[in-house]
Chains A and B, each alone.
Chain A
Amino acid sequence: MAKIGVFICHCGENIGAKVDCTKLAATLGEHPGVAIAVDYKYFCSDPGQESVKKAIRDNNLTGVVVAACSPRMHEATFRKACAEAGLNPYMCEIANIREQCSWVHNDPVQATEKAADITRSMVEKVKRNNNLQPIEVPVTRRALVIGGGIAGIQAALDIANAGQEVVLVEREPTLGGHMAQLSETFPTLDCSQCIMTPRMVEAAQHPKIRLLTYAEVVGVDGYIGNFHVKVKMKARYVDTESCTGCGDCITKCPNKKILSEFDCGLGKRPAIYTPFAQSVPNKPIIDKANCTYFKNGKCKVCVKVCQLNSINFEMQDEFIDLEIGAIVVATGFQVQDNSVYGEYGYGKYKDVINGLQFERLASASGPTSGKILRPSDGKEPETVVFIQCAGSRDPSKGVRYCSKICCMYTAKHAMLYAHKVHGGKSNIFYMDIRAAGKGYDEFTRRAIEEDEASYLRGRVSKVWEENGKLMVRGVDTLLGIPVVIAADMVVLATAMVPQPDAKDFAKTIGIGYDEYGFFNEAHLKLRPVESSTAGIFLAGACQSPKDIPDSVAQASASASKILALFSKEKLEREPVVATNNEATCAGCWGCVLACPYNAIEKKDIVDRSGKVIKRVASVNPGLCQGCGTCVTFCRSNSLDLAGFTEKQIFAEVMGL
């Protein structure tokens, strides 16, 4: 005989104000199989939980229903309490009478009736619950970090320094990401490369880090603790083992007119190249699309100059399979394509550039060796106009959010300009100055007060060319007057947007993303570094626009989550898994195909002589995530889900 205990929580006023909990207890007390039904102000409190435990022991309860808030809040709490009182935790269920009842209804009479229905249906379910034992699965203690910008490098180093193995995958030929392209960094103006390159080298040389550059993750299977990852190693056409990085091939390659991606199109590079002098690894690759040999079948100058025979035009893409326990996604961002701003003349006038291009001009290792020179004629600009929010906070250009870093880097640009071009005049059009952060407001003040940046609050409507000058028409809303400035260079503070392939990539590895393509965190406030998929964590600008300090902080947070996961040898998993009835299975393999976790295998049923008499589906409980997809698919109704069996669900529905 079932002896169910029903515990009805007022949740203070949350439930109590709408649902008559005392009456509800009386109603449920009458229900067949209910041994005890009581209400209390806060069952989740310490005395509340104690009273549940006491009731279990005193009444020899066989099952418990807590009518309270969403199971997402306190299912774990009450299951633990039940276990402490000697009841199998899976004999405890939550009836959600808060989110699904009191919060959404006004009429107390109807709300109380509905609460009774919800609770009763849960009682009917619990009567059919079974004891379940958690499943233990081994944890592969090896982390995968995808993306080798500052966020990825930080996460990899933190995990590796704690003694765990890391595979760091970067799709470009070198580590570094955007930070390697920056000149100096706010708010301290330290040289970006000087603080970045040692990190890159440290990551590459770390004994616990396996670095895979020019590589892409093409498939992720499995689940937390046990991911199977496929990585594509793109052909470099240079054997990194034998190549010493001497660079003879780079100097001799006759095809030197290719626009450098690293220099944002402001400099040139050959067809065999390293993106920049401090690349890690410092071994060249051949740009197949632009290589004369690949295009015309003739050249091979590089092959001739290479003393070590490291160049191999026959090289093919290779695939590596990795066993991984946890993943950090740190794939970063892109700057928005400014051509959406036709009115600002980006792409039309050579001297209208974006912020990242300005970084390259200001960088000592950049195409102008750190001198601020106009791309059109190489002259020093006497007047520069900076346009903030060129993309951000502009729904008409598709970006509603604030990119968070542009106010800061524009102030930085104005300062660098003032330091490098004495007497240069900078004008900054802005909407608001957002400089919240340690030392940030002081930084923008410095640009205004010490480096004489002139801030104009207002938008720019048009940029056009006149007598060799870029005419910038805008409005100064504080004075209420239109302004036209004749400038030598215009710098657009472009929005930070997700990587162009972010959505596809998210689908490949199985995480969620928002309308723009930034990856979704499990909970914006309480779980900001976890993705919605267990075992996959986020770091850096791939989740939302971030500056370096924020990216690094999130990377270290992800690393610490992974180290916690790796601190145990085994992982306990919910026993909510599917099982198959082999007698009724028709072997149609629909479930095999439908299962998003590849958890269903084909199994032969053989007779005594070993002859296959039937082939059926078989669920691997280690892989099954309990999503129930297969159960809904199976036409012969052969699959069932522990903890949510058809009998339980049916009873639940009929109990309404």
Chain B
Amino acid sequence: MSIQEQYKKRVRELLSSGAVKMVIGYQAGTTADRRRPLFIRTPEEAEKLVLDSACIANLSGYLVTEGLLSDEKSVGIFLRPDGIRSINILAAEAQLNPEQVVILGFDGNDKEVTALQGEKARDFSAIIASIKEHAPEAPRNPQLEQIEKMSPKERFAFWQAEFSRCIKCYACRQACPMCYCRRCIVDSNQPQWVNTSSHTLGNLEWNVVRAFHLSGRCVGCGNCDRACPVNIPLRLINAKMAGEVLGAFDHFAGMSETQEPVLASFKKDDSETFIL
């Protein structure tokens, strides 16, 4: 049986046994290589499910939809390892109860997908740990290396040129599972720290704020990058920040449900001597 059929069967079981009230997965999209989210509420609807290498979106953000989990019922969700890491972060930041999340895990490359064993986020901790372990030797993005070689002035010019295209649509924010705040700092206008208009300063402010708010939290799923209508290479910023927190604090986002947020926690053996 293909993995897609196996999982269809599993979804039907989960729903008919009442173990979950809904399963979030993928269905065919507008073009052959695109998938869109599918919200399966009855065993019959499972027929529409598609699971193949084109299923790349991180669906975890749908779980924090207002009220979805407040009835304490469980929801099933198709996730790759990055999405499972997102569940850990959302749990660590008290946005959901991981007991309510039944994971249908899978992984793969651009050709095929394979099933991952486990049901709750913590069942996948060995996989996540091994990703962290291999993170330093993973091939680095050549464009990132190029940018790192630039002088600060060149680098600033590069990003200004990139950000100049930003239209402040906030699609990157909407797509990111970590951007769950009901009011984002950019929507706060008393005072208006981040300028709303899409001019040089406003665009820079927004993108810098986004980078900081996601450092130590971004799992590199690429939702934001794919969502950006003007193709700003947000993946480069995400990868850079993730590398920085890994190097400086040995922090790899989404290791466990209890991982402390790197920018809010403090260790006594911190090498910064100015801290009391």
CB pair B94 A588 closer than 8 Å: yes
With A507-B276, A589-B93 known as contacts, the answer to whether A647 contacts B268 (CB < 8 A) is no
Pick the interface stretch among A163-171, A257-265, A590-598: A590-598
Is B111 located at the chain interface by the 8 A CB criterion? Answer: no
Complex interface residues of chain A between 577 and 635 (CB less than 8 A to chain B): 583-584, 586-591, 593-594, 596, 615, 633, 635
Q: Select one of A590, A593, A636, A651 contacting B185, CB under 8 A.
A: A636
Q: Which A residue's beta carbon lies closest to that of B190?
A: A647
Is B73 located at the chain interface by the 8 A CB criterion? Answer: no
Complex Cα distance, B273 from A506, in Å, reads: 13
Q: Which B residue's beta carbon lies closest to that of A612?
A: B70
CB pair B93 A590 closer than 8 Å: yes
CB pair B191 A586 closer than 8 Å: no
CB pair B95 A637 closer than 8 Å: no
Q: A175 → chain B, closest Cβ, in Å?
A: 29
Residues of B within 8 A of A647 (CB): 190-191
The number of residue pairs between A and B whose CB atoms lie closer than 8 Å in the complex comes to: 64
Q: A2 → chain B, closest Cβ, in Å?
A: 17
Complex Cα distance, B213 from A586, in Å, reads: 14
Complex Cα distance, B190 from A434, in Å, reads: 63
Complex Cα distance, B259 from A352, in Å, reads: 54
CB pair B182 A636 closer than 8 Å: yes
Residues of B within 8 A of A504 (CB): 268
CB pair A584 B264 closer than 8 Å: no
Q: Select one of B94, B185, B190, B266 contacting A615, CB under 8 A.
A: B94
Residues of B within 8 A of A637 (CB): 183, 185, 188, 193
Complex Cα distance, B95 from A339, in Å, reads: 56
CB pair B265 A593 closer than 8 Å: yes
CB pair B94 A589 closer than 8 Å: yes
Q: B36 → chain A, closest Cβ, in Å?
A: 27
Q: Select one of B95, B190, B191, B268 contacting A588, CB under 8 A.
A: B95
With A507-B268, A590-B93, A596-B266 known as contacts, the answer to whether A512 contacts B181 (CB < 8 A) is no
CB pair A650 B266 closer than 8 Å: no
Q: Which B residue's beta carbon lies closest to that of A533?
A: B276
CB pair B193 A633 closer than 8 Å: no
Is B202 located at the chain interface by the 8 A CB criterion? Answer: no
With A584-B183, A636-B182, A637-B188 known as contacts, the answer to whether A590 contacts B276 (CB < 8 A) is no
Q: Which A residue's beta carbon lies closest to that of B181?
A: A636
CB pair A650 B94 closer than 8 Å: no
With A637-B188, A650-B191 known as contacts, the answer to whether A584 contacts B265 (CB < 8 A) is no
Complex interface residues of chain B between 243 and 276 (CB less than 8 A to chain A): 260-261, 263-266, 268, 276
Is A510 located at the chain interface by the 8 A CB criterion? Answer: yes
Q: Which B residue's beta carbon lies closest to that of A506?
A: B276
Is A99 located at the chain interface by the 8 A CB criterion? Answer: no
0 or 1 for each of A357-375: is its CB under 8 Å from B? (1 = yes): 0000000000000000000
Complex Cα distance, B93 from A171, in Å, reads: 40
Complex Cα distance, B275 from A512, in Å, reads: 9
Residues of A within 8 A of B191 (CB): 646-647, 650-651
Is B180 located at the chain interface by the 8 A CB criterion? Answer: yes
CB pair B260 A593 closer than 8 Å: yes
Residues of A within 8 A of B261 (CB): 588, 590, 593
Central interface residue in B182, B260, B276, by most chain A CB within 10 Å? B276
Is B184 located at the chain interface by the 8 A CB criterion? Answer: yes
Is A87 located at the chain interface by the 8 A CB criterion? Answer: no
CB pair A650 B95 closer than 8 Å: no
Binding site for B on A (CB under 8 A): 504, 506-507, 510-512, 583-584, 586-591, 593-594, 596, 615, 633, 635-638, 646-647, 650-651
A-B residue pairs in contact (CB < 8 Å), sample of 7: A507-B268, A583-B183, A590-B93, A594-B264, A596-B266, A636-B181, A637-B185
Extra contacts, 14 of them, besides A635-B181, A637-B188, A650-B191 (Cβ < 8 A), are A507-B268, A510-B276, A583-B183, A586-B181, A586-B182, A635-B184, A636-B182, A636-B185, A637-B183, A646-B190, A646-B191, A646-B193, A650-B193, A651-B191
Binding site for A on B (CB under 8 A): 93-95, 180-185, 188, 190-193, 213, 260-261, 263-266, 268, 276
Listed from nearest, the 7 A-B pairs whose CB atoms lie closest are A650-B191, A636-B181, A594-B264, A584-B183, A590-B264, A588-B93, A637-B185
